[in-house]
Every structure is written in structure tokens, then in C-alpha cells.
Amino acid sequence: MSSKQTLPLQGIRIVDFSRLLPGPWATQMLAELGADVIKVEPPVVGDPSRHNVPSYRENSVYFNQVNANKRSIALDLATPAGREISRRLLETADVVYETYRPAVAKRLGIDYPTINAYNPRVIYCSITGFGQHGPLSHIAGHDLVIQGMTGSLGCALEVQNPPEVPGFQAGDYAGALFSVIGVQAALAQRAKTGVGCEIDLSMFEALYPMTLIPLSSEMARAAGFSGEPRMETFGGNPRYSTYLSSDGKPIAVSLLELKAWGEFCKLVDRMDLYDPDESPTARLSNHGDNGPIYRKALAEYCASHTWQELMDRMNETGIAICPIVTPLESLSLDHVRERRMVDYIDHPTEGRIPYLVNPLFRSGLVEDQRRPAPQLGQDADQILSELGFAQSDISRFRAEKAI
């Protein structure tokens, strides 16, 4: 991307009170799209995710990954001076993010009605676990609880009960992505109407539409149908399941389509397993009486090759029998390197550190090179000067421990 190219959100100011996930990842994406994101953190401790493990020299890997391209000001909202600064800052905001539990923002004087009264153009995005109202709104928005309530973790209890803790924070990232979509839509709407809006977004509601497959049978029943057979994407389908290689490593098999299944049968010289008249409905089924036969053939194939042999054969044939990699192996993949999915940045305090690249960089929609995550409060003087405060004011704020 040319350094002279204007980014989509250039000129948009976002005041970010969010912490942990999903707010910081969302505002980082908006920053990468060109927005000026001012991260407001409590003094001394800052965003708690600064202290997650593992860490670099000072701050966590996690914090550096989801807070790049931002500026930081430490602000004690419990002090009169802190609220004075906050008010001045919020008067300039196009977008406000917060991830407090319901009612906390109002207590701090940064809720939507308060800000909207003096800044009617503001777009205010609250991300909580279950929303600003409703029977579950008082529950903390931790990802495992969110996933547990969507039904996605409870859809195959006959296979494993209790289910494993998921390795991916689907609720957090769903909330972040929906908020970015919502904020961009709200900015487009404001360009037409001149008026902002409030986005009451829950992680639960963001993840819920993504659980279509586990919910589909119950949705069919709700409409008066049987809901059977259900889509078997949770281990019941032998052609969409996991196995072990000869050296005891996990393998993922994804041969749903008849064409892919036929390619596998030809590869292993087992065309007796291939039925050219297989119904399209069999794609996501358990394959009935053939299921155990298919499972045995796939288990034997995987068990007769090492993990590396299966990786090599997948690359050669394009058949999706894919070794399951560890995080280390993932970072070492040739594909990750060739697609520049991981890059490095020289951080002023952390040193040369890796980061996960925003895939939109090829389109020129985001900055080609990420800027480092800020140290706590490092941009306070610059931000306060931009807001019109004199140096004497800044000294007073420090004396009052508001910043």
C-alpha cells in the first residue's frame, strides 16, 4: 500500500474504554483501517491484559497482539479531573467503545445517554456477555460461558460428556467482528443522517447466528418437522472426523463431498467403498450401515502412515486428510510464511516481536506495517494538548493523579 493512500477510516476518532477481549481486538482492526484509536486505561495497572502470560520484556504477547496502532492515555475516571478530561475527549469522539458490565458506564459518566446529550453524532458500542438487559445480562461475559449457552458445546454429549474446553474464544471474536461491522454500518448511516446511534451488542447474540448447524435440527422441530437426520459435523460422520497416524499424532479427515470421497477411494484402491449414486443428503450424515466400514478404512489408512507422510501426501494429492498441527508447527508452515500471515515489528521496549497480520493488507484497506502497541499512558501529553489543555492543566492533572 502506498504511504500516500488514504485509509477507509482516516479522520475517525475512536475513544476506547474496552479491556481484554473482544473490544481491544475490534478497535485494533478499526485502527488498522485508519481510525485514530485512543485507548483509555486506568492508571498504574492499565488494561489487565497487559499482565497476561506469556510476556515479552514488559507487556504480554496477548496485549501487543490486540492493541497495536493505538494511542494510550491513563485516566482515573473516579476523580473530578479525570471526568473533566473524559468529557473533553468524548466531545471529539466519532465512536466510543466500552465493555463494562451493564450500569458501570453510567456510574462513570460515560454511558450513551450522557454522551449523546452533548455529542449527538457519537456512535456508542457496548460489548457485554449477554446484553444491556435480559435475564442473563448480569452474567460476566467469559467465552466459555457464552459458548456453553449457545448449544454448540452441548450438541454431541453422547460422544463426549462433559465436552472439552474449546481452544478458540469464538464468543469473543464473534463479538469483535460484529461490532466492527456495526460501527462501519453506523458510520455510513451517520454520513446520510448526521446522527449517531447506540450499538448494544452481546457476545452471546453475536455467536448465536454462527451456531446454525448445531441448532438446525431443533429449528426444524420448532417448525413442525422431524429434524432428522441431523447434520453430523461433531464426530458422527466418519468422513468428517479425527484419527491417529502411525506415530500417534492427530489427523483431521474432511471428505464430505462425493468427489473428494471418490478421490480417496481411488488413492487407497478401495473403489468398493465408492457409490456413484450416493444421495446429496449423505454428505453430512453418519452414512448409516456404511459408517463403521468407512471409519475402519480411514482409521487403517491413517494408522499406516506417519504424520509427516500424511502431510506430504496431502500436499501431493490435494486430498483433505490433514495433520492436526501444534501452535509451533502452525507458525512454521510454509503456507503461513508465503502468505505473510506472520510478520515482525521493532517495538521500542519489547524488541523485535512477531504479530499476526491483518489479511486485508493486500487490498490496501489497512496499513501495510503495524505500529507498536502503546506503553501505558505514553500519549497523554499529546492527546491532552490536542484537546486544548495547557501545560499547567496537564501538571495539575498529574498532581491530582488523574492521569
Q: Are 194 and 122 in contact (CB under 8 A)?
A: no
From the CB of residue 52, how many other CB atoms can be counted at a distance below 10 Å? 14
Say whether 111 is catalytic. Answer: no
Q: β-strand 13-16 against 36-41: which pairing, if any?
A: parallel
Among 16, 94, 172, 368, the one annotated catalytic: 172
Q: Are 375 and 67 in contact (CB under 8 A)?
A: no
Identity at 166, one-letter amino acid code: P
Catalytic annotation, residues: 172
